[in-house]
């Protein structure tokens, strides 16, 4: 009699464990689905920005600068300064994306 009860109890415990693991898998899959959806929306937004700035051609404006002004700008260090400024802005924007690293801004 007790063997039958112990067997049923073990079946019940296994059933509850399988339900718990199934619920865990379900919640994990739902979280992954929402994360994938957010990344898909971000990808669409990034592709939209790429097509929005495709008409902007910076090289045509740089070609309009006279050669003397270009050489003076190179001597003063405008190229290096612009690289430093752009990389600093990109690093700051990258840090804004990471949670809990806002650094007061």
Tell me: do 11 and 62 sit in the same domain.
no
Residue 52, pLDDT above cutoff 80: no
* Mean pLDDT, residues 61-66 taken together: 87
Domain boundary among 39, 56, 73: 56
Range of the structural domain that residue 83 is part of: 57-105
Tell me: do 97 and 72 sit in the same domain.
yes
Domain count for the chain, please give it.
2
97 vs 99, more confident:
97
Cα–Cα distance between 75 and 78 in angstroms, integer? 8
pTM: 0.46
For 70-91, the pLDDT digits (tens) are: 999 999 999 899 999 999 998 8
Whole-angstrom distance between the N-terminal and C-terminal Cα of the chain?
Answer: 70
Q: Of all residues in the chain, what percent carry a pLDDT higher than 70?
A: 91
Provide the mean pLDDT of the chain: 87
Tell me: do 24 and 4 sit in the same domain.
yes
* Mean pLDDT, residues 47-61 taken together: 76
Tell me: do 49 and 67 sit in the same domain.
no
Tell me: do 68 and 40 sit in the same domain.
no
Q: What is the DSSP string of 30-43?
A: HHHHHHHHHHHHHH
Tell me: do 12 and 63 sit in the same domain.
no
């Amino acid at each position: 009699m007790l063997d039958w009860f112990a067997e049923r109890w073990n079946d019940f415990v296994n059933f509850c464990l399988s339900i718990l693991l199934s619920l865990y898998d379900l919640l994990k899959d739902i979280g992954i689905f929402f994360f994938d959806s957010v990344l898909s929306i971000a990808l669409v937004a990034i592709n939209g920005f790429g097509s929005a700035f495709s008409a902007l051609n910076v090289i045509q404006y740089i070609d309009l600068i006279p050669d003397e002004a270009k050489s003076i700008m190179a001597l003063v260090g405008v190229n290096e300064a612009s690289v430093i400024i752009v990389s600093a802005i990109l690093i700051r924007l990258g840090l804004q994306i990471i949670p809990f690293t806002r650094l007061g801004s």
